Structure 1
Amino acid sequence: KFSLVEADRSRVIYNWLQYYSMDSLTREFAENGFSIMERYADTTGTAYHPESPEITLLAGKSA
Structure 2
Amino acid sequence: MTDDCLAGASEAVPLCDTATGYAQAFHALAVARNGPGRYAEFAQRPDLVLAIGPAAAA
Where on the TM-score scale, by shorter chain, does this alignment land: which range? under 0.3
| Structure (1 or 2) with the greater helix fraction | 2
- What's the TM-score, normalizing by structure 1? 0.25
Structure with higher Rg: it is: 1
- Structure with more contact order per residue of length (Cα contacts < 8 Å, sep ≥ 6): 2
- What's the TM-score, normalizing by structure 2? 0.27
